[in-house]
């Protein structure tokens, strides 16, 4: 691709218009298509999707953030972290479209998201949002065999929480995942360890 680091912002903005706007504001779709037209000729990847295909917009958001993550390698650590985090979240949230885009299984898509979170954390180890996003992705796998990995991820997020609210959100999620995994021992342990929490669902 004939792209430089300065173009990462254009791709990030393009994906951001979808990620933060299309579903909440009908005008977001028009803005996305307008932004898409501006960068369409800048890349050779991802343009095989027909605009009428189901999931087209989500796929194009993946293209946008994937490209931003590539061209932002020389960007500031903060910008790089934000791009990696958002791509990781997008892959996890829109895994059906991500499976088609990357031609991977659901487990492979989850692992891709987790690798991006891990890379972001390596650049900013104390970033709660990234740490919690990684833990939440493990939660989303619904894989009880990943309990140990998820437990460590949530405990790490708790350790870097900046506020009581962030800490409580991560604590509740950990107890909820223990319940989902039918790990009654862990559920009881953490419920007793954090008695101030109300009952999680």
User: What does the pLDDT average to over 83-98?
Assistant: 83
- pLDDT value for 59: 65
- pLDDT value for 87: 81
**pTM tops 0.85, yes or no:** no
CA 147 to chain centre: 19
**Alpha carbon separation from 152 to 6, 104, 130, 148, 149 (Å, rounded):** 37, 26, 14, 6, 5
Phi, psi dihedrals of residue 46, rounded to the nearest 5°: 80, 5
Model pLDDT for residues 99-150, shown as the tens digit of each residue: 887 889 999 999 999 999 999 999 999 999 999 999 999 998 888 889 999 9
- pLDDT value for 44: 43
User: What does the pLDDT average to over 163-176?
Assistant: 94
Rounded CA-CA distance 68/25 in Å is 23
Bigger pLDDT: 29 vs 179: 179
Determine which helix (DSSP H) or strand (DSSP E) holds 36, and give its type and residue range: helix 27-39
Share of the chain above pLDDT 90, in %: 41
Query: In the block, which residue shows the tokens 């000729």?
Result: 41
Bigger pLDDT: 79 vs 201: 79
Model pLDDT for residues 29-49, shown as the tens digit of each residue: 555 555 555 555 444 444 444
């Amino acid at each position: 691709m004939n792209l430089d680091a300065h173009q990462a912002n254009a791709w990030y903005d393009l994906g951001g218009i979808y990620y933060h706007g299309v579903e909440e504001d009908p005008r977001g779709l028009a803005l996305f298509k307008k932004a898409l037209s501006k960068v369409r000729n800048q890349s050779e990847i991802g343009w095989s999707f027909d605009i009428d295909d189901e999931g087209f917009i989500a796929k194009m958001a993946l293209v946008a953030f994937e490209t931003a993550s590539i061209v932002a390698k020389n960007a500031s650590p903060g910008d790089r972290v934000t791009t990696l985090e958002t791509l990781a979240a997008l892959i996890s949230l829109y895994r059906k479209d991500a499976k088609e885009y990357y031609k991977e299984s659901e487990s492979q898509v989850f692992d891709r998201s987790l690798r991006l979170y891990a890379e972001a954390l390596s650049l900013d180890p104390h970033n709660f949002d990234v740490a919690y996003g990684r833990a939440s992705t493990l939660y989303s796998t619904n894989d009880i065999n990943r309990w140990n990995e998820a437990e460590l991820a949530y405990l790490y997020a708790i350790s870097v929480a900046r506020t009581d609210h962030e800490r409580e959100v991560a604590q509740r999620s950990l107890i909820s995942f223990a319940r989902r995994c039918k790990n009654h021992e862990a559920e009881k342990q953490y419920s007793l360890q954090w008695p101030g929490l109300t009952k999680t669902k």
